[in-house]
Structure 1
Amino acid sequence: MASRSSWKSRLKRSRLRAPGWTRPGLAALFWLCVTQSVCGAGAAKAVMQKDAEFDVTYNDTVTSVNQTTYAFNHTISRNKTEGVRVTVDVLEQTLEAPILFVVRQKQAVMSFQVPLILRGLYQRKYPYKHVGRTLCQPPTRAASETQYFFVDVSTLSSHRTNYQLRVSRVESFTLQTDKKFSFTASPSQPQFFKYVFPDGMDTVIVKVNSDVNFPCSVMSVQDIQCPVYDLDNNVGFIGMYQTMTKKGAITVQRKDFPSNSFYVVVVVKTEDEACGGPLRFYPLQPDELIDAGNRTKDLDVLVSPAINSEKYVIGMLFCLGIFLSFYVVTLLVACMENKRLKRREMYENAPDMSPAETASLLGKNADGKTPASPYEYGSFADNGSTLSSEAVTDSATSTDNNYGYLERSLDSVARSRQESLSSVEEDDYDTLDDIDSDKNIVRTKKYLCVSDLARKDKRVLSKKYQIYFWNIATIAVFYALPVIQLVITYQTVVNVTGNQDICYYNFLCAHPLGALSAFNNILSNLGYVMLGLLFLLIVLKRDVIHNRALVRNDLNALECGIPKHFGVYYAMGTALMMEGLLSACYHVCPNYTNFQFDTSFMYMIAGLCMLKLYQKRHPDINASAYTAYACLAGVIFFSVLGVVFGRGNMVFWIVFSVIHILATMFLSTQLYYMGRWRLDAGILRRIVYVIYTDCIRQCSGPMYIDRMVLLVMGNIVNWSLAAYGLIERPNDFASYLLAIAICNLLLYFAFYIIMKLRSGERIKCLPLVCILFTAVVWGFALYFFFQGLSTWQKTPAESREHNRDCILLSFFDDHDIWHFLSSIAMFGSFLVLLTMDDDLDTVQRDKIFVF
């Protein structure tokens, strides 16, 4: 062991003491022991110190027996910050004994070896002989202060190794607001710059851009401290960071940085897998070194001021104002409707009302006859001709003497109403003994009227459809609570770890508020909730008016129009509100794992709209709430499987396509025969028999032409969608499944409108305006939806390539406008379903045709 005197003599000989030092302390002794190899017996290393200058290139050699220390002095000003950058080149690759560079500053020590070995995926090693590092700049309280720092160069190699060392000042080390700065970075030459918040500015957006996708990079925002984590293997240790190809943006708030300043760090990664680049080969040997090639990237950084609190207030007031205006318009329309109803009641209660006037209130012509049926205008019959004259005669006979219908005793109506309110079950109708009322006979008639499919007890049916509302309310509670808990956890993880690759925001228009990273995307979902609530209020008003009409034994409410059952409407309004809530939860942290939250109630809405359309003309045979929600649960189940396993998995797509086609055929049969068929062991025998008798033995057309046209078109559409999914296998399975539901809904809605017009019915002014308005809004909404500001189907870095600036009030982006327009369009679609059959309110149900 060397004596203490030998240590002192070596310290004196090495001239390591800076000006003003009187004797070495314990720290200097420890540093000498560690870095200069003088702790071992017989150790002998020549240490030479040089007074070095900035912007001078030093060409030297180093061996295991000599070490060089370069001493620099640096003046730090409180008003001006200059960066210091150390650049090293090793002319020979000595991997067995690399050169160690140690930079000793006042408050920090930074060390690195050259060649610098950086590791990638599967621990692959990439050596770099050219290294450049920027020194951290600790803050100073004095107006001007001179600080010393030293660069120690040593190696354990016995061979002389040549190197070049250059220390230079970085003049543009401090970034200026709204001033772009360009630079170059590589994995072994990271860059970082300092930014100081100006007075009065609390939030800024740091944007880093490049003209090329690769090499993959990482941008980070870190507090002013030493050391600065600026290598690929440690850049994510502190602060906020995100991978990037062409674009990167991070919103920074003053409150998160006590020093009112921060570093912007840019690191080029050793591999491109994190940004979706091609995978390189896997090395055969674990210690194999791979040539990294040229991974230099040109970038530019720009720090821009973010919006102030005034923009937040304007954005929130704008959002509230849009949807509150719908409440005002609805209130005005309701007032006008109340005036019209009061005027109608005055006419109905007039003692001297003529039969012609009364008939006109019930939808009759002035001569007391009903409008012509659709079959008088050339509806399809069995052989393509018009309906037989006998059928027309029977229809006309049944509609004569309508005034006699008005003279029906009110006592008998009251008695019928009382019987309908008795405690009965839904299946009581199915056990009727009267053969003329048997459901097999009624439902298989060639031409059906609504009265044929509205024979069940009204109170029982009302309870049956109210279950839709209560079930979806229960589903909403149990679905929403864990969702809210999960997204709060996601947001907490993002805030704590700083990893901004977890959530797929539009980072160029993501305005934080409190703990939320993108408050604007959450606020824009307010329309779903407010308009869903407004729709529930409209339905409640209609429900109350209808119940009052039933209480006073109003003939139109009892015997005319489409049977009023509001349970599905309540479920639709609740689903729209839940869509807003869950979409807001999804946008707290949108990513691959929680996209299901944003689509589940979309499936619910599409399914409920189709059920409501079918219920209008088929109230007795519509699906129960339990069956409907069980089917929707199956859809959501497949949606989850598709998101998890559907990417390129041929087996999954084959299974799903087969199930899709079989479900389409099953539903088609159910709709065509109106439930009067059985799925049992004899189904194949009956199918063969029908094909033989109707197609082979004698070629006869289908009995129900209109239904057959709809179902053939529906099967063509669904088979085509199944084939597309099987061939293309789209990555976004949830959107593909939603497209299937929307296509079927639009097809059925178009069929309903066409058949309504063919049946001689008309569309009143309010639903017609709603149809046109909704179609236009849907068109604009879909335009903004397909802008695609982000996508979780790709890597976070690739998703950021689609990011764009705000386009509305400097607060909302394209996707926020999609939220606005789609919520309005859904509300309009619901109003269309609610009002499209208002023209039948005074038409007897045995004159309303089923299709």
Structure 2
Amino acid sequence: MTPPFSPLQKETPVLFVVRQKEAVVSFQVPLILRGLYQRKYLYQDVSRTLCQPQTKKEVDTQFFYVDVSTLSRENASYQLRVTRVENFVLRTGEHFGFNATAAQPQYFKYEFPEGVDSVIVKVTSAAKFPCSVISVQDVLCPVYDLDNNVAFIGMYQTMTKKAAITVQVRKDYPSHSFYVVVVVKTEDEACGGALRFYPYSKDEPVDQGNRLKTLDVVVSPAVTSQAYVGGMLFVLGVFLSFYLLTVLIPLANLCCSLAGAPPPPAPRITPDSFLGRPAFNSYSYGSFGESFAPRLLQPRGPRLDSLSSVEEDDYDTLADIESDKNVIRTKVGLHAGGQALDLSKYDNLEMGRSMNIATIAVFYALPVIQLVITYQTVVNVTGNQDICYYNFLCAHPLGNLSAFNNILSNLGYILLGLLFLLIILQREINYNRALMRNDLQAVECGIPKHFGLFYAMGTALMMEGLLSACYHVCPNYTNFQFDTSFMYMIAGLCMLKLYQKRHPDINASAYSAYACLAIVIFFSVVGVVFGKGNMAFWIVFSVIHILSTLLLSTQLYYMGRWKLDSGILRRILHVLYTDCIRQCSGPMYVDRMVLLVMGNIINWSLAAYGLIMHPNDFASYLLAIGICNLLLYFAFYIIMKLRSGERLKLISLLCIVCTSVVWGFALYFFFQGLSTWQKTPAESREHNRECVLLNFFDDHDVWHFLSSIAMFGSFLVLLTLDDDLDTVQRDKIYVF
């Protein structure tokens, strides 16, 4: 139709009806399409590709009829042109370029060659906008190729620069052929673009001109069944090898010990020997014999874990065991013996930690599994692939699952978590047997053995694998907390275990610990849903973050010997007056003060960063807070351990080095960013990349492999960190 249009022609357009043997296509000129908020967009040049009916003959002549009508009282001029579509059938592996507009959609046919039962359709464009939709539909008439009906059938996804859809012939298209439909949308809002043409009138159509997009399409064979088998065997082989190593290493040590002469007893490295005095070699736990009494009366040099000298009464010794805990806890130098006299009373507490996390896991996992199955069903039924944020260039479907490789790669968490539980079980059995034999080394030496938190850590690692797999069934912002919930729990449990090593009697109970972790998960969900650009939320969260840091610092500094009541402000003012104004004195616990000052600086900095920058990925931001605090406390623990005259055994040092290296590689693959639910689905697909391992796994799958190994190694570090103290009298082990 010859532009420009008069107002009367816009109200009474020319209607074209194309009648075929098995289909009818109708459209009007000028074409008016609707967008958001009932916007109207007018297009002058309109073209449609006619549907290709199925024929039984190789050569067949078909007729179609075009009916033209209008209600206009004036004569309407138009131009009708019929052309043959070249390259209508796409060839495997061959690129084909074309143009499309909102009023001139394009679609092409693809036929599966012999021996190919799965292909991936890749569409690319150099320009981000205009926003478009890629659809794969069965070879049926009519073809839904307009912005307002392209979602009615088949699979579809929005696109800016990249789009990819995997098509399986047996599952989706038993006719061994399908249409690739490309539609340019009237607006860019679905792809993250801005709404233009403000202000606008609802009754006046907007002439958008020429919204042209140049695209390139290629259809390539997808991975074969051999790749699926190879991927599964690779995963099982890698992680089952850890089981084999766990069995072979003790056997090798046993063979070496049987083949050679019995090694001499290792010297017991205690704080006394580190200070230049003879090591304490007596196992007379609780004894006041001649070998022990004179040493208590000797003047002692400055303790290495304090910046100032202290008196003999500042140390917790065996004579202080029966004293009031409030007195013992306020001493500068503290030993583990005074707090581990009766370890049996903590067994129920340890059992509660492992049982509680198992209960939490069951109640948390069941609705998660049900929800993600529902998500996957909706994707399969509706064909809307914008619901889930996959790496579509490396998403291999299996059955009803759209990205089986992302789920399979989480198997490492489950297998290594189970292996860690078996290692802890073996250690606990050996320890209980030693107690039954009244082995003095097990009874009186080493860090108090509590295994409940270790069981909880192993269970949390297995649940992280299960919930991460559930998240990757259909990853999006509404279920991202499933992928991170047990990461918070793992970080919290590791910090609790580190603290428990030297403070088994004042560690948090199972109920209070999991209640705090539940609050963290609650804030994670609230932050993901409401935190984006919400200043009120960030103010509230930052205040809570800082107050929690101060309360925890007070708890750690005074080792739990303080009360939060109505008199807390009066006591704070009294301490400030006596220690800072009336008499300026340094802190009593210098090392703890240094740790807590550094911790407060880091946490206050993170709170300020969140308040100013408002990071979009709140869940990762919250996880970063937990990891930073865990690393800080771990570094403090190692430094204080070495300063107290203790040492790291070879196995612990090896675990630390190897785990650090694996964490480095894991984080490299994590930050590749193959998709992000912080953007629109179309923008997320701009980050999609091809597979990098065995033509089956992508960068995020490699992150799953390496991070599961790194977490397992981190757990082994915590397990073996104080093995050097197994021959040291418990009352000679410092608390810090």
Same fold flag (TM > 0.5): yes
Work out which of the residue numbers 15, 30, 46 in structure 2 matches 1:115: 30
Does structure 1 residue 750 correspond to structure 2 residue 632?
no
Are 2:648 and 2:721, in contact at CA under 8 Å, matched by a contact in 1?
A: yes
> Which of 174, 188, 206 in structure 2 is aligned with 1:272?
188
1:293 aligns with 2:209: yes
TM-score normalised by length of structure 2:
0.94
Aligned residue type for 1:600: S
Quote how far apart the aligned CAs of 1:233 are: 0.3
SS in 2 for 1:144: coil
Distance 1:436 1:129 in 2: 94
Structure 2 equivalent of residue 40 of structure 1: none
Q: What is residue 81 of structure 1 aligned with on the other side?
A: none
SS at match of 1:286: coil
Deviation at 1:516, TM superposition (A): 0.2
Cα offset for 1:368? 6.3
CA distance in 2, matches of 1:643, 1:157: 55
- How far residue 446 of structure 1 moved from its aligned partner, in angstroms, is 1.4
Deviation at 1:359, TM superposition (A): 8.3
Tell me the alpha carbon deviations over residues 758-802 of structure 1, each in whole angstroms, 9 at most, x when there is no partner: 111100010100000000000010010000000000000000000
User: Structure 2 vs 1, CA of residues 334 and 768 (structure 1 numbering), >3 Å: closer, same or farther?
Assistant: same
Matched with 1:585 is: 470
Deviation at 1:162, TM superposition (A): 1.2
Q: Verify the 8 A CA contact 1:90 1:114 in the aligned structure 2.
A: no
CA gap of 1:843–1:705, structure 2 versus 1, over 3 A, is same
> What is the one-letter code of the residue matched to 1:224?
V
1:239 aligned residue: 154
- Aligned equivalent of 1:444: 330
- Bigger relative contact order, structure 1 or 2 (CA pairs below 8 A, ≥6 apart): 2
Q: Distance in 1 between matches of 2:332 and 2:71?
A: 99
Whether contact under 8 Å (1:89, 1:165) holds in the other structure is no
Q: Give 2:220's aligned residue.
A: 304
Q: Does 1:495 align with 2:385?
A: no
Separation in 1, partners of 2:37, 2:198 = 8
Aligned residue identity for 2:431: H
Taking a change above 3 Å as real, the CA distance of residues 359 and 827 of structure 1, as seen in their structure-2 partners, is closer
Cα pair distance change 1:460/1:729, threshold 3 Å: same
Matched, 1:569 2:454: yes
In 2, Cα distance between the equivalents of 1:385 and 1:736? 38
The question of 1:370 aligning with 2:280 is answered yes
Correspondences of 1:759-770 after superposition (within 5 Å): 759-770=644-655
Indicate how the Cα distance of structure 1 residues 358 and 276 shifts in structure 2: closer, same or farther if over 3 A, else same. closer
Contact 2:268/2:728, CA 8 A, preserved across alignment: no
Q: Deviations over 1:400-434 (max 9, x none)?
A: xxxxxxxxxxxxxxxxxxxxxxxxxxxxxxxxxx9
The aligned amino acid for 2:382 is T
Tell me the distance in 2 between the aligned counterparts of 1:131 and 1:589: 38
1:284 is displaced (CA, Å) by: 5.1
Paired AA for residue 196 in structure 1: E
What is the CA distance between 1:171 and its match in structure 2?
A: 1.7
Task: Quote the offset at 1:138 in angstroms.
Answer: 1.2
Per-residue CA shift, 1:729-768, capped at 9, x if unaligned? Answer: 1111111100000000000000001111111110001010
Looking at structure 2, the residues matched to 671 and 342 of structure 1 have their Cα atoms a distance apart, in angstroms, of 46
2:168 corresponds, among 227, 240, 253, to: 253
Return the match for 1:685 from 551, 570, 579. Answer: 570
Residue 367 of structure 1 deviates from its aligned partner by 10
Partner of 1:333: 249
Q: Which moved more, 1:329-338 or 1:445-454?
A: 329-338
Q: Is the 8 A contact 1:92 1:162 kept in 2?
A: no
Moved more, 328-337 or 242-251: 328-337
The whole-number CA distance in structure 2 between the counterparts of 1:337 and 1:702 is: 47
Aligned runs of 1:16-415 on 2, under 5 Å? 92-93=5-6, 94-255=9-170, 256-281=172-197, 285-338=201-254, 360=267, 369-370=279-280, 379=304, 381=306, 384-387=307-310
Q: Which amino acid aligns with 1:292?
A: Q
1:285 CA drift (Å) = 3.5
Q: Deviations over 1:661-708 (max 9, x none)?
A: 000000000000011111111111100110111111111100101110
Return the alpha-carbon distance in structure 2 between the equivalents of residues 642 and 586 of structure 1.
Answer: 18
**CA positional deviation for 1:151:** 1.4
Q: C-alpha displacement at 1:621, in angstroms?
A: 0.6
CA distance in 2 between counterparts of 1:487 and 1:92 reads 51
Separation of aligned partners in 2, 1:842 and 1:387: 27
SS of structure 1 residue aligned to 2:63: strand
CA distance 1:358–1:258, change in 2 (3 Å): closer
Work out the CA distance in 2 between the residues paired with 1:317 and 1:671: 48
C-alpha distance in structure 2 between counterparts of 1:464 and 1:154, whole Å? 84
Q: 1-side partners of 2:2 and 2:627: how far apart?
A: 63
Q: Residues 269 and 279 of structure 2 are in contact (CA less than 8 Å); yes or no, is this contact kept in structure 1?
A: no
Which residue identity is paired with 2:167? V
Q: Deviations over 1:141-161 (max 9, x none)?
A: 112111111112221112111
CA contact (8 A) 1:491 1:515 kept: yes
What's the TM-score once normalised by structure 1's chain length? 0.81
Give me the whole-angstrom Cα distance separating, in 2, the residues matched to 1:315 and 1:589: 20
| Counterpart Cα distance in 2 of 1:385 and 1:573 | 41
Distance, in Å, in 2 between the alignment partners of 1:301 and 1:182 is 6
User: Aligned to 1:102, what secondary structure does the other structure show?
Assistant: strand
TM-fit CA distance, 1:258: 2.2
SS at match of 1:467: helix
Q: Which runs of 5+ in 2 are unaligned?
A: 282-294
How much does 1:335 deviate? 2.1
Structure-1 residue corresponding to 2:604: 719
Determine helix, strand or coil for the equivalent of 2:93: coil
Cα distance in structure 2, aligned partners of 1:359 and 1:602: 39
Could you tell me how far 1:436 is from its partner in structure 2?
5.0
Match of 2:433 in 1: 548
Does the 8 A contact of 2:481 with 2:619 survive in 1? yes
Q: What letter matches 1:379 in structure 2?
A: L
For residue 96 of structure 1, report the CA deviation from its aligned partner: 1.6
Q: Partner of 2:510 in structure 1?
A: 625
Aligned to 1:422: none
CA positional deviation for 1:342? 8.0
Looking at structure 1, the residues matched to 57 and 685 of structure 2 have their Cα atoms a distance apart, in angstroms, of 42
Greater radius of gyration (CA): 1
| Number of the residue aligned with 2:536 | 651
Q: Deviations over 1:466-500 (max 9, x none)?
A: 11100000000000000000000000000000000
Q: Post-superposition shift, 1:286?
A: 2.4
Q: Which amino acid aligns with 2:173?
A: F
Root-mean-square deviation (CA, aligned residues, Å) is 2.4
Instruction: Report how many residues are paired.
Output: 714
Q: Percent identity?
A: 72
Please, which runs of 5 or more residues in structure 1 have no aligned partner? 1-87, 349-356, 400-433
Name the counterpart of 1:609: 494
CA distance in 2 between partners of 1:139 and 1:696 (Å)? 94
Q: Distance in 1 between matches of 2:129 and 2:277?
A: 81
CA–CA separation in structure 1 for the residues paired with 2:580 and 2:358: 48
Task: From 501, 504, 513, give the equivalent of 2:398.
Answer: 513
Do the aligned partners of residues 164 and 567 (structure 1) sit closer, same or farther apart at CA in structure 2, a change above 3 Å counting?
same
Whole-angstrom CA distance in 2 between matches of 1:751 and 1:257: 61
Q: Which residue type is aligned with residue 280 of structure 2?
A: T
CA distance in structure 2 between the aligned counterparts of 1:368 and 1:463, rounded to whole angstroms: 39
Residue identity opposite 1:447 in structure 2: G
State the distance in 2 between where 1:840 and 1:653 align.
45
Distance 1:741 1:297, change over 3 A: same
Call closer, same or farther: CA 1:338–1:260 in 2, change over 3 Å. Answer: same
Structure showing the higher strand proportion among its residues: 1
Secondary structure (helix, strand or coil) at the match of 2:639 reads helix
